[in-house]
Amino acid sequence: MMIKIRYFGRFAIEIGKFSEELEVPENTTVREFLEILREKYLKLKDETIEVSIGGKYAREEDKIGDEISIYPPISGG
């Protein structure tokens, strides 16, 4: 399936783009999707990545959807 990914915060800077489309297998879980992403972008290899699917907070066991946003957890102030 084709998914659209939006990158936020330092992830967009690290990989050099705000969004892209990516082909992933049907029924891919968030955990599997993150493995694909970390393989594609080595700069994300050691990052903790938060994911929302269709605007909803997603956990690792959730199935991926076609509108994905990824962002880092942040704690500055």
Residues that bind other proteins (CB under 8 A): 6, 8-10, 12-13, 18, 48, 50, 52, 55-57, 69, 71-77
Q: What is the DSSP letter of 75?
A: -
Residue 54 Cβ vs other proteins, minimum distance, rounded to whole Å: 9
* CB-nearer residue toward other proteins: 26 or 55: 55
Distance between CA atoms of residues 43 and 75, nearest Å: 20
CB of 6 or CB of 32, closer to other proteins: 6
Length of the chain: 77
- Angle, alpha carbons 13-58-19 (nearest 5°): 30
Q: How far is the CB of 22 from other proteins (least distance, A)?
A: 18
Check residue 46 and report its DSSP letter.
T
| Smallest distance from other proteins to CB 3, Å | 16
